[in-house]
């Protein structure tokens, strides 16, 4: 016989079921990951680098998770209130506004549902404020920027004189390179060739080493290197491939100068024991082609001056077959030296635009920092024509002015140019450590700054 349920019995069963405790939702421990464990900023900076924070929790929607900084080991550098986290999805962006120079460890915490949480530590370093911070950006990953070549779309390839790595940066943003290329193996070297100058002709970027002895006056054959890379694409899609190299340009220069009465003292400047960065030394830092030419290139010398005395003129030496030197290994042929009055300063970089307007970044043959004057000179590239000073550069902030990224139209009032510093010898964070020797690449950085030309 089937059991018959009364309406009252059914109601009682439903009431009992409703009063039973619901099974609790099981929330996992939240997860948190940082895109970088080390971050660098600057006091008063605009657009400092940020860190991506990726979070999650099983059983919970990511929008229910909160992320914040909950502790700082040194609030005078940056406190928890100086940390901003934006976004509500799985990936948030964390930014830090520096209060003071130095280091701090920031505890970054994610709080999920069920009262569960997790933390990570972000090691943060802040450099001091600089002049005109709104015009400054910081290229991280290396402190020893030595040459820059604009490749379209607001991007530039930046060389490093402490490695053979070329780095692609967004000129408008602070942060890590978009892409890097290490050409050491193709160059057949295990140490740096001391890249100091670069220029783009068509789809070929020409690069030169310093060609000089090292800082101790020792001859290092690998520094006697010029090479090419082929550029495909532009902007953030730019790609470089190795071209060819030539490793006898220093020898060719010495032979040429010797045959012409040792006018510039190249043989003496390259002798064993001779330091390159002295008034009668031997050190190349600029490379650019002559007006309207794809064959003749100017080598810009940091040392020597001509003559090698205080107040001497800056020196450019034309290589009249520079294209063949790199394409076929032809011995270099030289034109007469070009001597320019830069107020006793020498060439730290030289760059031209499509209209044939040149900017020369002039600095001391001696200074590796900002202890001596720097200036920008406009020139038309014609030997015998005098350059004209367009600006004196500030010298109170860390790093020495080292590279012109690109030359604007110099006939336009208020034209602005971006320069990059070599900050390798700078004590950025007040701990006595040179930037080139910092333990973490995220803390190494070169400053790029915009200047309005007078």
- Classify domain 133-452 at the CATH class level: mainly beta
Q: Residue 4: what pLDDT?
A: 56
| pTM of the predicted model as reported, rounded to 2 decimal places | 0.92
CA-based nearest residue to 91, from 120, 37, 51: 51
Alpha carbon 398 to chain centroid, angstroms: 14
Q: Residue 14: what pLDDT?
A: 45
Q: Would you state the structure tokens that stand for residue 430, as one six-digit string?
A: 């007040």
Q: Indicate the CATH number of 31-127 among 3.20.20.100, 3.40.50.2300, 2.60.40.1080, 3.10.580.10.
A: 2.60.40.1080
Q: Would you state the structure tokens that stand for residue 143, as one six-digit string?
A: 């402190």
Regions in the chain scoring below 70 on pLDDT: 1-24, 367-369
CA end-to-end span of the chain, whole Å? Answer: 107
**Whether the Cβ atoms of residue 183 and residue 192 lie closer than 8 Å to each other:** no
CATH topology agreement for domains 31-127 and 133-452: no
The long-range contacts involving 227-232, CB below 8 angstroms and separated by at least 24 positions, are: 227/183, 227/187, 227/193, 227/326, 228/204, 228/326, 229/166, 229/181, 229/183, 229/204, 229/205, 230/203, 230/204, 230/205, 231/151, 231/200, 231/203, 231/204, 231/205, 232/203
Which single residue is written with the structure tokens 């604007």?
A: 408
Domain boundaries, the chain: 31-127, 133-452
pLDDT digits (tens, 9 = 90+) for 185-212: 999 999 999 999 999 999 999 999 999 9
């Amino acid at each position: 016989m089937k059991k018959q349920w009364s309406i009252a019995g059914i109601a009682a069963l439903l009431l009992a079921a409703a009063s039973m405790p619901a099974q609790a939702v099981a929330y996992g421990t939240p997860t948190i990951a940082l895109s970088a464990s080390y971050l660098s900023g600057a006091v008063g900076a605009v657009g400092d680098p940020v860190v991506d924070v990726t979070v999650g929790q099983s059983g919970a929607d990511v929008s229910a998770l909160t992320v914040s900084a909950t502790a700082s080991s040194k609030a005078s550098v940056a406190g928890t209130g100086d940390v901003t986290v934006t976004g509500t999805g799985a990936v948030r962006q964390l930014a830090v506004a520096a209060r003071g120079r130095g280091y701090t460890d920031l505890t970054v915490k994610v709080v999920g549902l069920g009262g569960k949480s997790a933390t990570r530590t972000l090691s943060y370093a802040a450099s001091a404020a600089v002049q005109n911070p709104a015009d400054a950006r910081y290229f991280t990953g290396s402190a020893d920027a030595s040459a820059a070549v604009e490749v379209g779309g607001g991007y530039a390839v930046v060389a490093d004189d402490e490695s053979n790595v070329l780095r692609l940066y967004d000129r408008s943003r602070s942060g890590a390179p978009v892409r890097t290329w290490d050409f050491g193996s193709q160059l057949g070297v295990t140490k740096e060739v001391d890249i100091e100058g670069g220029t783009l002709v068509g789809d070929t970027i020409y690069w030169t080493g310093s060609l000089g002895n090292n800082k101790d006056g020792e001859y290092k054959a690998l520094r006697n290197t010029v090479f090419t890379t082929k550029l495909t694409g532009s902007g953030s899609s730019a790609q470089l491939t190795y071209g060819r190299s030539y490793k006898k340009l220093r020898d060719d220069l010495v032979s040429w100068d010797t045959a012409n009465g040792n006018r510039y003292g190249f043989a003496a400047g390259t002798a064993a024991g001779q330091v390159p960065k002295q008034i009668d030394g031997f050190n190349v830092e600029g490379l650019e082609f002559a007006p309207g030419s794809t064959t003749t290139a100017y080598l810009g010398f940091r040392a020597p001056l001509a003559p090698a005395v205080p107040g001497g003129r800056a020196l450019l030496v034309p290589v009249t077959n520079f294209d063949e030197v790199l394409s076929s290994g032809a011995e270099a042929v030289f034109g007469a030296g070009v001597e320019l009055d830069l107020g006793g300063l020498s060439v730290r970089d030289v760059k031209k635009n499509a209209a044939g307007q040149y900017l020369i970044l002039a600095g001391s043959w001696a200074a590796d920092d900002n202890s001596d004057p720097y200036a920008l000179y406009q020139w038309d590239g014609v030997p015998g024509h005098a350059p004209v000073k367009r600006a004196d550069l500030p010298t109170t902030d860390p790093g020495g002015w080292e590279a012109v990224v690109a030359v604007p139209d110099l006939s336009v009032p208020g034209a602005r140019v971006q320069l990059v510093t070599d900050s390798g010898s700078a004590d950025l964070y007040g701990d006595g450590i040179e930037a080139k020797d910092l333990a973490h690449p995220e803390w190494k950085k070169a400053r790029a700054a915009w200047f309005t030309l007078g």
